[in-house]
Amino acid sequence: MSLYVQAIVNGFLVGGVYSLMALGLSLIFGVMRVINFAHGDMMVWGMYLSYWLFVTAGVDPYLSILVTGSAVFLLGAAVQKGLVNRILDAPHEMQILLMLGVALVLENVALMVWGPDPRRVSTTYALSTFWLGPIVFDLPKVATFGLALALALGLYLFLKKTDLGRMIRAASDNQIGALLVGTDILKVFTLAFGIGAACVGAAGSLMTPFLPFSPSTGLFFTVTSFNIVIIGGMGSFLGAFVGGLLVGMSESLGAVILVPSLKEIVSFVLLVLILLFRPQGLLGSGR
């Protein structure tokens, strides 16, 4: 029994970063209707950047999220400004192809720079734990969860309270409306992609203290982000958040109940169930 409770707790904690990652995807899709197939690869770049700062300058990954967030922000903004903005009126499938191309480039450049072997950020506290009753908590996972939560909250406040955030939400609700009020839509697009990418870049850094990674890790996170966003409900902030926690827990449980290599199947089954019974997602509204 305690094994399952333990799995749920661990999954919940990891789920916090999943949420942050999915929020980024949801934001990018909501505003531009672009599926960011390079989402996980942007995350992996955030991870490598943290790794590099850690091994060369000894910067703690929890500190380097500032750098990785900004760097991946620039990467995302560049992809939007330099590539996606140029083909806005092309058929939908072309945008997919473009993002697949970007994903290929990001993954394989990472492969060229870092090689195929998994890397890990071995902090002094990597193995620290503490007990609460019968449950053991990994310190890095708790810290990561707290920071992911704080960043998600920050994003929420930014979208709700600032003019820029309101502009992004306006573009997300109704592109034509935003055009009519005179917003420079292309700038909003660039900004939105940048912010979405920054979320996933920071999420990457936050995972490095407890998760080894390699260039091919990106694809897994891309697919996981897709899952979460559909499960939670497309376009719903809270949905992406709750979906992240749910998927985190279901994977963690799946690894215990089934075999670890089958852990993803639980979240896929969850996805199919959602599509069957609540296709708009847990917290989504309408289509």
Partner 1 sequence: MLRLGLLAAAGAVLVFLPFWVPSTWQNLLITTFYYAYLGQAWNILGGYAGQLSLGHAAFFAIGAYTSAVLASQYAISPWLGMFAGAALAALLSLGIGYLGFRFGLRGFYFILLTLAAAEICRLIALHLPLLGGYTGLFINFTPNPWQFQFQGKIPYYFIALGFLAAGSGIVWLLQRSKLGAYLVAIREDEDASEALGVDTFRYKMIAYALSAALTALGGTFYAYYQYYLQPNTVLHINHSVDIMIRPIVGGAGTILGPVLGSFLLELLGEFSRTYFAGGMAGLSVAIYGVLLVIVVLFLPRGVYPTLAHLMRRRRPGRAT
DSSP string, the chain: -HHHHHHHHHHHHHHHHHHHHHHHHHHHHHHH----TTHHHHHHHHHHHHHHHHHHH---HHHHHHHHHHHHHHHHHHHHHHTGGGGTTS-HHHHHHHHHHHHHHHHHHHHHHH-SS-B----TTTT-EEEETTEEEEHHHHHHHHHHHHHHHHHHHHHHHSHHHHHHHHHHH-HHHHHHTT--HHHHHHHHHHHHHHHHHHHHHHHTTT--B-TTHHHHHHHHHHHHHHHH-TT-HHHHHHHHHHHHHHHHHHHHHS-GGGHHHHHHHHHHHHHHH-TT-SS----
CB of 98 to partner 1, least distance (A): 5
CB of 264 to partner 1, least distance (A): 6
Q: Footprint of partner 1 on residues 131-160 (CB under 8 A)?
A: none
Segment near partner 1 (CB under 8 A), from 46-54, 79-87, 124-132, 189-197?
79-87
Q: Which of 134, 163, 260, 261 binds partner 1 (CB under 8 A)?
A: 261
Interaction between residue 230 and partner 1 (CB under 8 A): yes
Segment near partner 1 (CB under 8 A), from 62-70, 117-125, 136-144, 255-263?
255-263
CB of 5 to partner 1, least distance (A): 25
Q: Footprint of partner 1 on residues 29-48 (CB under 8 A)?
A: 29, 33, 35
To which residue do tokens 């990472």 refer?
A: 110
CB of 124 to partner 1, least distance (A): 32
CA gap 54, 131 in Å, rounded: 28
What is the total residue count of the chain? 287
Interaction between residue 256 and partner 1 (CB under 8 A): no
To which residue do tokens 């950020």 refer?
A: 121
Interaction between residue 246 and partner 1 (CB under 8 A): no
Residue number with CB closer to partner 1 (71 or 270): 270
Smallest Cα–Cα separation from 36: which of 79, 82, 81?
Answer: 79
Residue 97 is which amino acid? L
Interaction between residue 107 and partner 1 (CB under 8 A): yes
Segment near partner 1 (CB under 8 A), from 16-24, 52-60, 82-90, 162-170?
82-90
Tell me phi and psi for residue 130, to 5 degrees: -145, 160
Q: Footprint of partner 1 on residues 161-220 (CB under 8 A)?
A: 215, 219
CB of 70 to partner 1, least distance (A): 24
Interaction between residue 52 and partner 1 (CB under 8 A): no
CB of 129 to partner 1, least distance (A): 30
Interaction between residue 110 and partner 1 (CB under 8 A): yes
Residue 149 is which amino acid? L
CB of 95 to partner 1, least distance (A): 8
Interaction between residue 272 and partner 1 (CB under 8 A): yes
- Interface residues with partner 1 (CB under 8 A)? 29, 33, 35, 83, 86-87, 90-94, 96-98, 100-105, 107-112, 115-116, 215, 219, 223, 226-227, 230, 234, 259, 261-262, 264-265, 268-269, 271-272, 275-276, 279, 287
